[in-house]
Structure 1
């Protein structure tokens, strides 16, 4: 394998890991904003909430706990953990090849 090809592979793995980190950061930020009762009329809060809803569309209503804050932490937190785990697993596999 040529060094040039290998370097491109390493960059692809790094990009995948960074994207996974950013996705998990957005989800974690929304959880924090929710728990701290951030002003939902604020543009930044709305942006983070919309992005988190899109990223966790498959998991944000997965659980039916009685407390709303537990549903938010579990649903959005699960998505963050899955993105981190899968993204870094893929990045690690790309780096190995």
Structure 2
């Protein structure tokens, strides 16, 4: 196997990992939005864990918007973070696959 083939294989694997990480981050954010909209029990450990992770992931976009309704703030703030992570993660993965 030539060094170029091994390098391409490595970058393809790195691209897959980056895309999967972006997908998982967006999934957690989407899961929190769904749990919030369905009024999940916040005393539940799973709900609390998802909320904590989503809050950390969307720290930069949390309360970015000032809608009157709380559900709109959650959907816009956490949804924006999910879209940005998907876009950036898949853009980086696509660039890696080209090389």
TM-score (norm 1): 0.98
Name which of 5, 12, 20 aligns with 1:3: 5
Task: Measure the CA separation in 2 of the matches of 1:2 and 1:59.
Answer: 40
In structure 2, stretches of 5+ residues that fail to align are: none
- Alignment deviations for residues 14-62 of structure 1 (CA, whole Å, 9 cap, x no partner): 1000000000000000000000000000000000000000000000110
Task: Measure the CA separation in 1 of the matches of 2:4 and 2:94.
Answer: 19
1:64 offset after TM fit, Å?
0.2
Runs of 4+ in structure 1 over 2 Å off: none
Give the RMSD, CA atoms, in angstroms: 0.7
In structure 1, stretches of 5+ residues that fail to align are: none
- The aligned counterpart of 2:47 is 45
TM-score (norm 2): 0.96
How many residue pairs match? The answer is: 97
SS of aligned partner of 2:66: coil
